[in-house]
Structure 1
């Protein structure tokens, strides 16, 4: 906590207030609510929040919402300076950081010195009274910390929950009846490119996807397809080049190169291996009966790792499904000890039942990193031609034809009220199920597949829940080793109940 100049503290026995400037006006907040004072941190912006909410930051493992005090009080916005600080207020398990222009010090006064009269018109809703600094003509407007923290009684909060349920009954309803394909067994895959060919590995075998780092340590006396080992979150991860494994020429690294981290299980033993691939494409979800067996001519001993072939886009696109277990069984048997390097150490960290791992698909929307649980992502596809639908709801960009199914598409930039931009090669359409309706969500780019523990997911700060029209934020993912935070979105709450009904109407209009 920063030290405050307290040479002007009044010696009277009374309540103490921390004093600060906003422009030329002085304000104060009861010291009882002050947790600490800090310099302005880097923040992650949150979509659909009021202008006075700057974003969220990771304060020693706690998600802290940062508020611009000027804008919150209805004052004119101003740029930060070297004197700007964040005062962290806390009460009743609520915590908020308010950005102020400059700290002054601490004053103490008695209750009878408090003037409940004239206050600034702009800040009137938050001002509890006015006090004059001793031996000065300066007035200090004392702010109500409870109002700044948006504290309300428990009964009001219960009423809000009931109102939300009544206004959005479809959120709590069963969706199985609307999904006619639930009896069809499906295969979900991460697809990627190696050279000109497209391959896929089942999501259940993929732990995560990370950017390829050049910090690979070579291991002597290994075949060329074993690139070496890297350190991934204090664990040793062997890296295999699928290009070299498939007798293809190695290509230069670029920003699209990725490592697909896969878990290999052998009898009662398991270990992780990272496959270096050229480009991760999509998350595919297809019917298992659409997977074709490998033709006998190709089903040789050297290609047993291909367990099936998918035909997509009316046969113009082929995806070879890889089975990591068979891949290791045939080609890497002689080097399995290298791939198991420190495997025992990898298995020491037993996951607590209360902290089960969860896989997320992260993506960017106007620089904001968001994510969906991977179980809610049906597919991820490249941007394609979107047909505009007359009289469609404002939030619908248009429709696409997905293998004979009409799918409405929503631009998340528009949905969140962010700056719009033209689609490019980086844009992706994330296909999700909203109340039993296949829906495409346009994002700027898909970043990676994350594996996080549930303890890393914090609940949404209450101030955000109070201010966001649609409670679509399920939580905030935090990382102990960095300031990175990811906003976990709820697929079902992206749209309101009314908007979901409007979405369903698109089917009727196009049938």
Structure 2
């Protein structure tokens, strides 16, 4: 049976897919540098490990209205014919093998009418969901003035020089994409851009670690990116009768049943209403997958191992922390997910549940 892998993602409540073979990497939206005289859909450029990469907002490229970006938007880096280009989307989901027979070329209904047709190869039905499949060749083609602008930027940028970076136009990126960005949000996006400038050699040399920073009850915690499958919205879930308070319920994630847990009580954060949680961090530990309910995804960042503080006081409060780091004047506790998930109190006693 003829199948092809597609990376699935969402934008403005619509679902899209693009050939997974051209996807190079994915990361949270960083601060970009706006350039003059570029196509209107290219909202800025990014210094990605010493290579200048233009970044387009997919809404503009598809001819749709531009909506304000969010701090948890993603940039997907595509490579086609030696060309690297980034696209801004709302949420990245998964790589899915799609059968050719599940794809139709009838593009005559719904929101698709508003999209420029040269960018669409068809519509796929995946688990009762319509996926708009994008034509990556047409999507990544852009005008010669982008090449000229990038060449000019490469002359200005001395990698790692903040003084030279400040000569470039960063304010226009915010006025276009994040007009209501607070100083705290700008600081987070700037730190992301700084981390992306690190070469892979620097990453290994300095022993950098990548974490997702989450918030719980107004405190900040870090989870290793190696353990995170994805983040998703907490919309619908089914409570499980006769379970302890930390078992929130089950949710259906694209056909997979995921058990949701609230780790607040194990971190001595006190009780909170389930309705206060907005998102879910899907974590995988070996073959075990679960969802941790959280308030927000604050950032994805890197830190040097030597910057961690191992001296953790109050053993009962910090027994599930590996270390702490200070970032942007916030103390972040690095969670020991393996220890937390495998501890006995988290496991539901099936016999007790039946008795109930």
Shorter-chain TM-score category?
A: 0.5 to 0.7
Q: Distance in 1 between matches of 2:125 and 2:240?
A: 31
User: 1:380-408 CA distances to partner (integer Å, 9 max, x unpaired)?
Assistant: 32213433333323432233344555432
Equivalent residue for 2:310, pick from 448, 456, 461: 461
- Answer yes or no: is 1:260 the counterpart of 2:74: yes
Q: Distance in 1 between matches of 2:298 and 2:276?
A: 14
Do the aligned partners of 2:221 and 2:335 also contact (CA within 8 Å) in 1?
A: yes
| TM superposition shift of 1:428 | 0.9
Do the aligned partners of 1:264 and 1:325 also contact (CA within 8 Å) in 2?
A: no
Do the aligned partners of 2:61 and 2:139 also contact (CA within 8 Å) in 1?
A: no
Residue in 2 that maps onto 1:338 = 149
- Answer yes or no: is 1:219 the counterpart of 2:36: yes
Q: Distance in 2 between matches of 1:487 and 1:292?
A: 48
3-state SS of 1:391 partner: coil
Residue in 1 that maps onto 2:341 = 495
Cα gap change, 1:468 to 1:208, in 2 (>3 Å): farther
Say which structure is richer in helix.
Answer: 2
Q: Distance in 2 between matches of 1:476 and 1:310?
A: 45
3-state SS of 1:462 partner: coil
3-state SS of 1:439 partner: strand
| TM superposition shift of 1:245 | 1.0
Structure 2 gap ranges (5+): 108-115, 160-196
| TM superposition shift of 1:410 | 1.0
Q: Normalization by structure 2: what TM-score? A: 0.63
User: 1:335-359 CA distances to partner (integer Å, 9 max, x unpaired)?
Assistant: 3443564298568945243446654
Do the aligned partners of 1:456 and 1:477 also contact (CA within 8 Å) in 2?
A: no
Q: Normalization by structure 1: what TM-score? A: 0.46
Which structure's CA Rg is the greater one? Answer: 1
Do the aligned partners of 1:290 and 1:310 also contact (CA within 8 Å) in 2?
A: no
| TM superposition shift of 1:492 | 1.5
Do the aligned partners of 1:431 and 1:441 also contact (CA within 8 Å) in 2?
A: yes
Q: Distance in 2 between matches of 1:323 and 1:499?
A: 50
Residue in 1 that maps onto 2:118 = 302
- Alignment RMSD (CA, Å): 4.6
Do the aligned partners of 2:210 and 2:301 also contact (CA within 8 Å) in 1?
A: yes
Structure 1 gap ranges (5+): 1-185
Q: Distance in 1 between matches of 2:73 and 2:284?
A: 28
Q: Work out the number of aligned pairs and report it.
A: 300
- Answer yes or no: is 1:210 the counterpart of 2:29: yes
Do the aligned partners of 2:227 and 2:285 also contact (CA within 8 Å) in 1?
A: no
Residue in 1 that maps onto 2:110 = none
Q: Distance in 2 between matches of 1:391 and 1:331?
A: 58
